[in-house]
Amino acid sequence: MPSIAASARKLAQGQASPRNSTPITLRPGLLTPAEVVAVARYAAPVEIASETREAVGELS
C-alpha cells in the first residue's frame, strides 16, 4: 500500500485520480503545504492536525 505522503504527492502533481479512502490525520512535517491542499480537496474526509492547519492557514 502506498504511503499517504506518496499518494498526496501524486495527487498534487496531477499523477493520480482522486478517490475516496479511509480518513487520515495529517501531522506536521509529513506533507508539504501543497500536498495538504491536494489531499484536502481530493481525498476522503481529512482531519488536519491543528499544528498543520496553523502552518498552512485555514483551508476552508
1-54: pLDDT as tens digits: 456 667 777 766 666 555 555 555 556 677 777 777 777 766 555 555 555 666
Any idea where the domains of the chain sit in the sequence?
Answer: 4-56
Confidence at residue 16, expressed as pLDDT on a 0 to 100 scale: 59
Confidence at residue 54, expressed as pLDDT on a 0 to 100 scale: 62
User: Which amino acid makes up residue 59?
Assistant: L
Confidence at residue 1, expressed as pLDDT on a 0 to 100 scale: 44
Count of CA atoms in the C-beta half-sphere (13 A) of 27: 2
Confidence at residue 57, expressed as pLDDT on a 0 to 100 scale: 62
Confidence at residue 35, expressed as pLDDT on a 0 to 100 scale: 75
